[in-house]
Amino acid sequence: MYLYSASGSLFTEDVLLNRIAEKLRISFSDQMNRNVSPGEFNAWRSSLQSFAHVLSHFHWQMLALCWKCSCRSPPNAWTAS
């Protein structure tokens, strides 16, 4: 069962705008035909905010790494003979 599917940037936006837990609640209710508890709803909100922060941090580290790699010429082992 999938409750949510989106790109990383849309996921981060949904979290930052506090839409993620509500989207999950609606999807859960539609698929399971029952309501989610307030505790579960709050757990989604707080844990997914933390996860979005990790993804955002990882994204910027990867961009920095790619930039560093593109600024250097490859080592001799990488070049074709």
CA distance 6 to 79: 38
The pTM of the full predicted model, rounded to 2 decimals, is: 0.63
- How many domains does the chain fold into? 1
Mean pLDDT by 10 residues, the chain (81 residues): 84 86 94 94 87 71 58 52 45
Q: What is the pLDDT of residue 58?
A: 66
Q: What is the pLDDT of residue 73?
A: 52
Domain-located, residue 34: yes
Of the CA atoms within 13 Å of residue 19, those in its CB half-sphere come to: 9
Residues 6+ apart with CB under 8 A from 47: none
Q: What is the pLDDT of residue 81?
A: 45
Domain-located, residue 2: no
Residue range of the domain that includes 46 = 8-71
Domain-located, residue 18: yes
Amino acid, single-letter form, for residue 1: M
